[in-house]
Amino acid sequence: MQNVTENPNNFIIKNYNKYGENFLNSHYVSIEDIQQNAIYIIRDILNKKIDLSKYGRFILEPVVIANLEIVFVNKARYYEYLCESLEYTRVFKYKENISETQYNIELKARNNYKTYIQIAQTLNNIKYSQNITEFDILANRLKAENLIYNLK
C-alpha cells in the first residue's frame, strides 16, 4: 500500500502501541472490542490510514479476520432485509408511487448492502488466501462505484 497516513486512534495501532506485540493474545482485547471497532478498522484500511505492511499480520489473525467478517455479514443481512421490506412497502402499499425521500432511503439501503456484502466477501477471501492486498482491490472497486463513503 502506498501513501499511508496512519491514524493513531485505529484499534490495531492503538492496542499495539499500548500493549505490545501480543495484544491479541492477552486479556486486554476482547472479541466484543474487535466487533465494535470493525467498521473503523476496515474504513482505515480502505482509506489507507493503516500501514498493512506493518500491521497487516494482526488483521490476518483468525480472531480478527473472523470477527470482522461476522460484523460485515450481519450488516449486509440487515440491509438486505431492509431493502426487501422497503421494496414490499413500495410495491404493495404505495403501488410504486413513492416520494423522493422514500426513493432515496431505498437507494441508500441498496448501496449500503452492496458495500457491506463486498467487504464481507473480500474478508472471506482474505481469510482463506491470507492475501491482504485484496483490500487495495476492494478499495478501488468501492471508490469506482462511489460506495466507499457508505461505511458508517
Mean pLDDT per 10-residue run, the chain (152 residues)?
72 90 86 94 90 91 94 96 88 76 88 93 93 89 81 68
Q: Provide the pLDDT for residue 40.
A: 92
Q: From residue 111, how far is each of 30, 59, 121, 139, 146 by CA, in Å? A: 31, 25, 15, 15, 9
Q: From residue 146, how far is each of 40, 64, 79, 87, 138 by CA, in Å? A: 18, 27, 18, 23, 12
Q: Provide the pLDDT for residue 8.
A: 79
Q: Provide the pLDDT for residue 68.
A: 96
Chain center to CA of 149:
11
Q: Provide the pLDDT for residue 92.
A: 77
Ordered by start, the domain boundaries in the chain are: 11-150
Q: Provide the pLDDT for residue 145.
A: 85
Q: Provide the pLDDT for residue 2.
A: 55
Q: Provide the pLDDT for residue 67.
A: 95
Question: Structure pTM?
Answer: 0.86
Give the separation between CA 24 and CA 7, rounded to whole angstroms: 19
DSSP 92: I
Q: Provide the pLDDT for residue 152.
A: 65
